[in-house]
A and B are shown apart, each in its own frame.
Chain A
Amino acid sequence: MSTVSVITGPRRGWRSAGTWIGAAIVGVATVCAIFAPLIVPHDPFTQDLSKRLLPPFWMAGTNPDHLLGTDQLGRDYLSRLIWGCRISMLIGITVTIVSGLIGITLGVLGGFLGGRVDDAVLFAITTRLSIPVVLVALAVVGLLGSSMALLVLTLGLLLWDRFAVVARSTTMQVRNLDFVAAAWCAGCSRARILLGEVLPNIASHLVVVATLEIALAILLEAALSFLGLGVPPPLPSWGLMIAEAKDYMFFSPWVIVIPGVALFVLVLGINLLGDGLRDLFGARSDP
């Protein structure tokens, strides 16, 4: 596997175009997420039953006050979409922080120390991979009640495997390099070598994994919210928006098309950016 992902020749042209598109999408989403309360045209929670299911701007009968129309309770769709972006980004990033802390710690320790510790780490990864993520996340949220904090913790505890695999294999490569040996000879402590020599040298690989994990966490959150066991209503998560609009989709398909396209574009953008970073760093992120 390792020899095939070697990049031959310059990766300009479409690759860098993809990276720029990805960066632009992520940039817009970040701005929306941070400044959501300032840029929403309406309050995303205010209902107006006299304005239910107004169509978006490209359809007949639209209301210029609501560019993307309104939902089944008369809430402004554009405002809910922007607010939903905030929730998706927040969950994607916090889940990745939790899973990254767990996975990187396990992977670096296993790869650096080897032996029994590494066996234990490998066993933990194998066990984790055998656990059906969606089912367990649904069960935890279903049994304990839905809240953002619980959702982040649950997904973080379930999604650390790729971090661990990549951190472990890259640490093994770095461990035997000359500068680590030099640090040993200089009398550095184990902790000093791990934090000062190993971690900075595998960081670029971990950044690539982090982008993929953010995208995955966003998709999973949407799926869980769609099933009613993710973000609690009335928060406008994109998955929840699709679930709530599902009953109307056969008459007005745009109610599910709009939040779905937003979800798809954001995840695609993050993955494009991640691919671009991987080429830039020459890193590998596949386990």
Chain B
Amino acid sequence: MLQFFARRLIVAILVAATVMVLAFALTRLSGDLAISIAGPNATQADVEIVRKAYGLDKPLSVQFFDWVGRAATGDLGDSYFFKKRVADLIAERMPVTFTLGLTGLVIALVVSLPLGILAAVRENTSLDRGVQLVALIGQAMPSFWLGLLLMITLGLQLGWLPISGTGSWQHYVMPGIVLAFSAIPALTRLTRAGMIQALGSDYIRTARAKGLSRAAILLKHALRNAAIPVVAIAAVQLGFMLGGSIVIEQVFALHGVGFLAWESIGKNDFPVVQAVVLVLAVIYVALTMLADLMNAVLDPRLRGP
């Protein structure tokens, strides 16, 4: 068990290091950063001043290890546009993105668990097909478009929810629903598949033979086993949702990390862009490790000797 996690940790660190190289290379794609930072009206002298001030005159390898060295101590550099430390900027914006991600995940679980169980219990009936159709529809729904439709209907026509901003919890409901749509198909299918497998197994037959109630069999015996992969995938989905929330944050003007990245891309503020890519990747890696850990805790068979 310990050895398993030591190996996973080493892989995670290697992944983070690779992502750092990629994120650094990504922001150097555009060629001469000093010119784009100095702006269209800058003279050659201005560009040289910018190049010196930001350390862009040093060799790329020096710049890279400089960045890595400081990132290891939590210093992600300074934003060119906001004139603040990038780490502070991300820390300010992260609560919005996390709230959005968790809201989306909770909504997704509340919808997909009952749907998946229902479809499994009524396998191959019209109800099962209906649930699978819901999953297909969720898979085909463009998230930004769904967001706009909800703004028109729930926001403007019915007036139930605020259209954009981050003032209160109500502001997170619509974006949460939209974000949940991206996870509902996978979670529903997984719950359904897990429940079908569990319901066909010997221990369920034993439970039935003992005369246990239907509810006890479903919720205590079958669901507990079916939930193991679902819990793990839920953690991974949260990672995808945090990375994918950039579109939704833009639609609903939620000033989270995704919105910050979007603003920074438009302003050539590359220390922010590379830091957000890195932070989101590290969070994803941490969440997948958490998923493995939860799997091992929930299912003693996976712990090994």
Binding site for B on A (CB under 8 A): 1, 3-5, 8-9, 14, 123, 126-127, 129-136, 138-140, 142-144, 215, 219, 222-223, 226-227, 229, 239, 242, 246, 249-250, 253, 256-257, 260, 263-264, 267-268, 271-272, 275, 286
Contacts and interface: CB of A to CB of B under 8 A. Distances in A.
Contact of A129 (B196, B197, B268, B284): B284
Closest 9 CB pairs of A and B: A132-B243, A142-B265, A268-B140, A260-B145, A143-B30, A267-B140, A4-B193, A130-B281, A4-B197
Interface of B: 11, 14-15, 18-19, 22, 26-27, 29-30, 124, 129, 136-137, 139-145, 148-149, 151-152, 156, 189, 193-194, 196-197, 229, 239, 242-244, 246-247, 250, 258, 261-262, 265-266, 268, 270, 273, 276-277, 280-281, 284-285, 288
A130 B136 contact: no
9 contacts: A1-B193, A3-B197, A134-B244, A134-B247, A138-B261, A143-B27, A219-B140, A227-B262, A268-B140
B144 A133 contact: no
Nearest to A219: B142
Given A250-B152, A268-B136, A143 B265 contact: yes
Contact of B265 (A5, A133, A138, A263): A138
A256 B148 contact: yes
A121 to B, nearest CB: 13
A144 B152 contact: no
Most buried by A among B22, B262, B288: B262
Secondary structure type dominating chain B contacts: helix
Given A131-B277, A144-B30, A249 B140 contact: no
Given A138-B265, A139-B265, A227-B262, 7 more contacts: A132-B246, A143-B268, A144-B29, A215-B139, A227-B250, A260-B145, A263-B142
Contacts of B196: 4
Contacts of B29: 140, 143-144
Contacts of A226: 144, 247
